Structure 1
Amino acid sequence: MTDIVVAQMIGTLGCGYVAGGMMGLSLVTIPVLVIPARHPSTGARKTSGTSAAHLSHQWLNAYNRGLSIYPPTAAVSSLANAYLAWVLRDAPAPTAVNYSWGSIYATAAVITMGIMPWTFLVMWPTNTKLMAHAARDDAALAEGTKGMVVNEQEKAKRARDDQDVPALVEKWGELNFYRSLFVVAGAVIGFCGVVWME
């Protein structure tokens, strides 16, 4: 097995793995987290199935697990595609494509790492609101909440923040789905490269 084949496998399979995991978060995990409770007798849906504090902690746990797996894997896949772009920089691709292999794999590497600017430019406001909500009571719980006084204004703000959490989690799921499309594109380009090289 040559270095080119190994790099193709790492680049394409890595992108596919990341895309599947990110889409799984958006299409399965997030909808399950925000599922409304059902009324026991009628089956009618209520507005929330779990407390806002618990929901934001569940989201944060899923977010941190994904953060430890998907960006590093995407980076390794992009490095493999960048390696292919460098090694194949002068190799002409099929005439139907009209580009060099180097430009094809460079495109796969750049598109895959598009998840980073998307995260910071588009998702960051939602991320920070959810993270702040998840950590909102951590200091108070560490010190003990006995005797803690919360004024009416603070109670109203907390209630508004709690109301926003399910919608924020759903919005994050939607934005994360769109982010996964960068990696899907990297996987498709890499896969096409494998097929065309045969």
Structure 2
Amino acid sequence: MDIPNLALPARRPPGATIPSNEVPGTPIAHLTHQWLDVYERGKGIFPPIAIVASLANGYLAWTLRDIPVPATTGQSWTSFYVTAIVVTLGMVPWTLTAMKNTNNRLRAHATRDDAAVAEGTEGMVMSAAEKVRRAKEDDEVPGLLWKWAELNFCRSLFPLAGAAIGFCGVAWMR
């Protein structure tokens, strides 16, 4: 949800559709720093939420292990809630595989000047080849951000599907 706002062009009427190929109004270096902040906050918030949800499903799997299930489910309550746990935690392998390259490239861009800033050499003169390389990297960032947004949307579906499975279990218990 953050990427469309971060990637806004300099001027756009409210509610207008933003094509993914439009140049953001924010400098690319700042844009990747904003992405890194969003990424780090999400990394600190959402995995613990998924773990708590999985613990709740684990509790239900254990507590309901001896209770008969409706014939329509075709499985035990334990397998039902373990499935919810596996689906919810599926966001971890998705992040480590499908999102790894995009995350690494965006992180590398966001932090590429950190060492120079720390050393006080950020104003050093760059060669023409270095300027071309950096311009190419900058040109890739908007596309990487939109790709990350799509991958992150898919990632968000894992806990949602796990919650849906858990809610179905509750509904079938009635």
Q: Deviations over 1:21-52 (max 9, x none)?
A: xxxxxxx3111111222389xx9x86221111
Stretches of structure 1 lacking an aligned partner (at least 5 in a row):
1-27
Structure 2 residue aligned with 1:24 = none
Would you identify which runs of 4 or more consecutive aligned residues in structure 1 move more than 6 Å?
none
In the TM superposition, residue 86 of structure 1 has moved relative to its aligned partner by 2.4
1:110-146 per-position Cα deviation (integer Å, ceiling 9, x unaligned): 0000000000010010001111111111111122236
> Is 1:32–2:5 an aligned residue pair?
yes
C-alpha separation between the residues in 1 aligned to 2:122 and 2:129? Answer: 20
Which residue is 2:165 aligned to?
189
Unmatched tracts of structure 2, length 5 or more? none
Identity among equivalent pairs (%): 58
Superposed CA RMSD: 1.9
Deviations 1:36-71 (A, max 9, x none): 22389xx9x862211110110000001111111100
> More displaced, 147-156 or 116-125?
147-156
Aligned length: 168
* Whole-angstrom CA distance in 2 between matches of 1:184 and 1:146: 44
- 1:179–1:147 Cα change, 3 Å: closer
- In the superposition, the TM-score normalised over structure 2's length comes to 0.90
CA distance in 2: counterparts of 1:188 and 1:114, whole angstroms:
14
1:33 alignment partner AA: L
CA distance in 2, matches of 1:116, 1:181: 12
Q: Whose helix proportion is higher, 1 or 2?
A: 1
Higher RCO (CA < 8 A, seq sep 6+): 1
Aligned residue among 143, 148, 169 for 1:167: 143
Q: Is the 8 A contact 1:89 1:102 kept in 2?
A: yes
Is 1:132 aligned to residue 105 of structure 2?
Answer: no
- Tell which deviates more after alignment, 149-158 or 107-116: 149-158
